[in-house]
Amino acid sequence: MKFESIAMTPLNSTTLVVLLIASATLLSCRGQLSDKPPVQPQQNMFFQERFNAQQENPFFEDGMAMRAPVEGTVARGNLQADTEFYRGVDENGNFIDENPVTVTRELLERGRDRYDIYCSVCHGGTGDGQGIIMTGQYGYVPAPTFHQERTRDMTEGELYSAIADGIRTMPSYSHQLKPEDRWAVVAYIRALQESQFVPEDVMREYDVDLALLVEEYEREQERLAALEEAREAAAPDDDISAERGEELFTSQTCQACHSIDGTDMVGPSLLGVYGSERELDDGSTVTADEDYLYESLTEPGASVTAGYQNVMQPYTHLSEAELQSLIEFIKTLADND
């Protein structure tokens, strides 16, 4: 067998230089980071025809770029057929009595965390309705305390609905809190209620000095009263007028529940209230004089108008002059025909 030798052609200098540059270029790409935009020969993905939210799109007959879901369809994961979990109601639309989520220590801790972030600014750290923005100077409707009988009697579903859908002047927190977190907050509110409303006979079962607790409570009330007196003394407030009352009616968002044109809302209209005979929910009647109006502002649950729920919060954060000014404004709405 005969083998023929193959002669190797030596590389010329130009070819060698090209190969070296190509090799160096390829090696330099490995593991190297760059802040420069990548070279993209195909630009269609960068400069494609698209529409922004709310922009007009002539392709569709209605001219809307944003399209509604196809009728009769539900996006994957958005069925939410479990009405008890997602809405707090049973199949008949009634509020459920029990939390559908198992209450654990972890759930309560999650509820406390979400409550402190989203709820405490209005409802207070202990649920007493004395949050940091409920000082009267921001114009918010006073938040209810969770420790009154009406709130303690609310079902779990009602509390959940208030968080998910909002209630009266309180907005919905459905965007801030997912369903699991809403139920966690409900569980934590129940824990707050339990902590602040322990019957005396139950406390006696434990090593608790009730007399000392009562004494501390009375001292705290005296301290708060002294602070209120000092506040009023530091800022004299004796201007009583219907004009000021009208300003307060707006700044305290009274119009959220009471109209002045006769329209029925959450609460009765104030048009023609002063001097009228009011039927109460217990069947009795009362004349809406100045004393009645003052009581309605400071103790709204004492005389509830028939056909309405006791949902108004006491406006005791207002000074005497402010309360009297509101009454003067309501008197101007009397039906004098």
Separation of alpha carbons 25 and 156, rounded Å: 68
pLDDT of 257 over the 90 cut? no
- Look over the chain and give the mean of its residue pLDDT values, rounded to a whole number: 83
Task: List the Cα angle 100/158/137 in 5-degree steps.
Answer: 130
pLDDT of 5 over the 60 cut? no
The fraction of the chain above a pLDDT of 90, given in percent, is 25
- The domain ranges of the chain are 83-196, 242-331
Report pLDDT digits (tens) over 109-126.
999 999 999 999 889 888
Q: What is the CA radius of gyration of the chain?
A: 34
Note the pTM of the prediction, 2 decimals.
0.57
Amino acid at residue number 221? Q
pLDDT of 280 over the 50 cut? yes
What pLDDT was estimated at residue 98?
Answer: 93
Q: CATH top-level class for 83-196? A: mainly alpha
53 φ, ψ to 5°?
A: -60, 140
What pLDDT was estimated at residue 118?
Answer: 93
Return the higher-pLDDT residue of 91 and 140: 91
User: What's the pLDDT band for 129 if we cut at 50, 70, 90?
Assistant: confident
pLDDT of 6 over the 50 cut? no
258: buried, middle or exposed (CB in 10 Å: 19+, 13-18, 0-12)? Answer: buried
- CATH number for 242-331 (one of 1.10.760.10, 3.40.50.2300, 3.40.50.150, 3.40.50.10490): it is 1.10.760.10
Return the higher-pLDDT residue of 181 and 12: 181
The structure tokens 């129940």 sit at 190
Residue 64's DSSP bridge partners are 56
The two tokens of residue 194 are: 């339990």
Report pLDDT digits (tens) over 91-109.
998 999 999 999 999 999 9
Return the higher-pLDDT residue of 77 and 171: 171
95: buried, middle or exposed (CB in 10 Å: 19+, 13-18, 0-12)? Answer: middle
What pLDDT was estimated at residue 179?
Answer: 94
Report pLDDT digits (tens) over 286-306.
888 999 898 888 888 888 888
Q: Answer yes or no: same fold for 83-196 and 242-331.
A: yes
pLDDT of 56 over the 60 cut? yes
